[in-house]
Structure 1
């Protein structure tokens, strides 16, 4: 019996940008009906391969095929859409348009006189969403949908073109545990209907949970392809990093006795978000706020950082009560902040690394509101060195960096004012394994230097760094868990499950 050709295959693909080799004779073979993981550190070549597999750019050398047939010409966009689609980490849905309008953008049915028949468009949209089990109202603006619904909408739109091969680029980066479980259930259901996925993720536990096969890229080359069930995690990490997985470091000593309180939150409430929250963070202490996406943990952290104002209660930073809801006041009190969404809150894409990294300290860079460019660039070069940001220089726009290096720029800005309290929300979301290790090591270094740290995250690797973890469930702090917890213990508390009940 002749084996079916792969759904998609890239062979000997090389792509250079000037003197930089983004891919070197790289290959991948994706079999029908699988969920195939593509993993690797930032800069490994994953994004370049996806751009070639989706027809956004051509390889310098090598070949791409779908179902055994050569890929279409780059100019034949309809042919590409019938073969492959990509659901990006950054949504391509237009929020001002309705769900139906997004589904059939530039493909509207027209009635008499060439006018669009909106009734027909809505009917087709309902039929499409029903076929693929996406439960959203086709009449609502897409901007009213949550992240999970927008992803399902993008998948349905891709399938409507006829594609049965879909690339999922960091699909879980902004989802909580329950939403991830629903996404994985949908992926399995679509697999049974003949849809094939290329799954790109930095979370290796997700690879083992949802994927059949994994391919590793490192330094622009293909390193390994293996069945997930046959590949120990330590070997996968070693393939990604080029070295054996490191042993876990020694446990932090935590804050010394009598350490000063750098954050005191007392009776803080914000209706619909959180209620009667009280806790403290001391100098040299790392405290976690754990919980699902809608638990209130992010809103508590944003209140401390000045992005939100509590309706009741008090927030004190090193004995000072900054004006509620004022980021400048929080900065002046000694807060450094890494927000949840680096794309929209963390940096200005077209501004340089130097400008982004010094946004919080203009007073240090010149007099009377004028910035000394040499002083700014000198500070930026120091920052680039301390945070190992891979860049030819401080003048490069942040949009030109990989995700891990973008996050390092956001961290650099947070550290620029020598904070007494560092507040981080999901600090390692969407970054590769090595960048994650580097960023968490930097957080530990900051704590050891004397600052207090507050980490709001549902990522267990982020929370392992903490001296204690406060669990937020439905807007209330329901548990305090000291260092040394087991995964199942913390996850159960985050989901509101009593293991002793």
Structure 2
């Protein structure tokens, strides 16, 4: 039922909203991306926008930031109509978006990224580099961002890049910042620092529209939440007044019983006599991890938990051939693949879903069929030649198995929603029928339904005898596991079997019990 609850969208009649959208409709051919939708974000608040993939969130952000013109409806900022689309400077002075995929240019310095097309010039019309760096330092100091203005942006951490992007937005005069999945690639400590900075900026009059698939973050940070479903607005309410199960019900359109623990629980497990499909012995990589020994059995789902700095991601990438360990051995299905060799890992039976689907998982301009079959060229035709019919037939099979929403395998993968893109990455990992499936943060940046589907697929693969390793700090991902191995500062420090509590696992992940 639309507009099931309203409220929390403005402190008073005297203070107009930082942004207000009313009756917004946007069509792309026969597809209705937004259907008379709206939102009202009060000045100085942190307002969450949630919904499943395809709900209309991205389209609304494109309209609120002046990238797309609505077919119908009105947009206003602080009670005044939105600028003309062509007046980019006016838009930059009102609103800016920090996207999940960073927009900083890696080959330019921090200073250059802060003032694109706005560099100070000397009398000859050339860039005044000294003045540029001075302005950049002043801007970062003003907003409390720790970064070297001379450093290349590509050398920054994900967290630093986000802070630089926020500072760049503020430098243009915008006091409304849209944060699109800002925590998708941050560990718990970095998320805490980001949230602290958001609260500080909010006290200084900055307004945030916060988009996230992690509902706990909404409760930890936001004042108000708006839900979109099927291109429509269905709910706006103070966060404190919406129980989590009601929020999920609003997003999915289904009644959900109030949860008592994890969103998922493992329904089965490997046979007692299942053989190991992965054996890791005294594995080490300088400055990343050391002395790791563990196994994953056929049909077993093992979690590798820890903060991003714990080494869990590097271990998973080592198992997949993206990195080469300095010492130790890896045995997959009875074979020892050559270290740091992705084809060798594939040949040994490893399937892999990387940490970042945008940078590592997809070739955006290639089709779904091409992306889903990159790991199995030998199955697509003789002597390395690709038979398009065989490729498309296999792609259609994977599209069906992964429930990818697409008109066909020939669609560029860039045209899919985030959840469906992640399914394509999973399809490619499963195309070579792996004996070991390695997943890094497999549900990052996807909606609730896609998250449940992807985790269900991991469970289905395990039931067929494949060993699964999930490297994640998401408790919902780890709740699926038969065992969870916890890493802290490059070492294995704890192991949990089914029945662990959130508090126990988080305590171990944060190293609270470790004398360090």
TM-score range, shorter chain: over 0.9
* CA distance in structure 2 between the partners assigned to 1:333 and 1:262 by the alignment: 10
**Would you say 1:293 and 2:308 are equivalent positions?**
yes
* CA distance in structure 2 between the partners assigned to 1:311 and 1:374 by the alignment: 43
Conserved in 1, the CA contact under 8 Å of 2:46 and 2:224?
A: yes
3-state SS of 1:408 partner: helix
Conserved in 2, the CA contact under 8 Å of 1:212 and 1:227?
A: yes
3-state SS of 2:124 partner: helix
* CA distance in structure 2 between the partners assigned to 1:125 and 1:364 by the alignment: 53
* CA distance in structure 1 between the partners assigned to 2:179 and 2:266 by the alignment: 36
1:2 CA drift (Å): 4.5
Of residues 57, 81, 85 in structure 2, which corresponds to 1:74? 85
Post-superposition Cα deviations, 1:78-105, rounded to whole Å, max 9, x if no partner, equal 0000000000111111111111111111
Of residues 455, 458, 463 in structure 2, which corresponds to 1:440? 455
2:355 maps to what in 1?
340
Of residues 196, 208, 218 in structure 2, which corresponds to 1:207? 218
* CA distance in structure 2 between the partners assigned to 1:32 and 1:390 by the alignment: 37
1:306 CA drift (Å): 0.9
* CA distance in structure 2 between the partners assigned to 1:174 and 1:428 by the alignment: 11
Of residues 417, 428, 431 in structure 1, which corresponds to 2:446? 431
3-state SS of 1:257 partner: coil
Post-superposition Cα deviations, 1:209-255, rounded to whole Å, max 9, x if no partner, equal 00000000000000000000000000000000000226756643311
2:287 maps to what in 1?
272
1:500 CA drift (Å): 12
2:7 maps to what in 1?
none
3-state SS of 1:163 partner: coil
User: What does 1:180-199 correspond to in 2, within 5 Å?
Assistant: 180-199=191-210
Cα 1:2–1:233 change in 2 (3 A) is closer
**Would you say 1:227 and 2:227 are equivalent positions?**
no
* CA distance in structure 2 between the partners assigned to 1:29 and 1:149 by the alignment: 30
Cα 1:426–1:2 change in 2 (3 A) is closer
3-state SS of 2:384 partner: coil
Conserved in 1, the CA contact under 8 Å of 2:264 and 2:479?
A: no
User: What does 1:322-333 correspond to in 2, within 5 Å?
Assistant: 322-333=337-348
1:258 maps to what in 2?
273
Of residues 411, 425, 429 in structure 1, which corresponds to 2:426? 411
3-state SS of 2:93 partner: helix
Name the TM-score, length of structure 2 as normaliser.
Answer: 0.96
1:136 CA drift (Å): 1.1
1:295 CA drift (Å): 0.7
User: What does 1:35-184 correspond to in 2, within 5 Å?
Assistant: 35-184=46-195
1:240 maps to what in 2?
251
* CA distance in structure 2 between the partners assigned to 1:463 and 1:19 by the alignment: 40
* CA distance in structure 1 between the partners assigned to 2:383 and 2:108 by the alignment: 45
Post-superposition Cα deviations, 1:28-51, rounded to whole Å, max 9, x if no partner, equal 000010000000000000000000
1:163 CA drift (Å): 0.6
Name the TM-score, length of structure 1 as normaliser.
Answer: 0.98
Of residues 352, 376, 384 in structure 2, which corresponds to 1:361? 376
Cα 1:242–1:2 change in 2 (3 A) is closer
1:461 maps to what in 2?
476
1:33 maps to what in 2?
44
Of residues 455, 475, 490 in structure 2, which corresponds to 1:475? 490
**Would you say 1:382 and 2:393 are equivalent positions?**
no
Conserved in 2, the CA contact under 8 Å of 1:353 and 1:409?
A: yes
* CA distance in structure 1 between the partners assigned to 2:386 and 2:175 by the alignment: 53
* CA distance in structure 2 between the partners assigned to 1:299 and 1:251 by the alignment: 26
Conserved in 2, the CA contact under 8 Å of 1:252 and 1:467?
A: no
Conserved in 2, the CA contact under 8 Å of 1:492 and 1:499?
A: no
* CA distance in structure 2 between the partners assigned to 1:3 and 1:484 by the alignment: 52
* CA distance in structure 2 between the partners assigned to 1:332 and 1:179 by the alignment: 37
3-state SS of 2:381 partner: coil
* CA distance in structure 2 between the partners assigned to 1:262 and 1:110 by the alignment: 62
1:121 CA drift (Å): 1.1
2:319 maps to what in 1?
304
Unaligned runs of 5+ in 1: none
Deviation beyond 6 Å, 4+ runs, structure 1: none
Post-superposition Cα deviations, 1:358-398, rounded to whole Å, max 9, x if no partner, equal 11111111101111111111111111111110000000010
Unaligned runs of 5+ in 2: 1-11
Conserved in 1, the CA contact under 8 Å of 2:440 and 2:471?
A: yes
Conserved in 1, the CA contact under 8 Å of 2:50 and 2:227?
A: yes
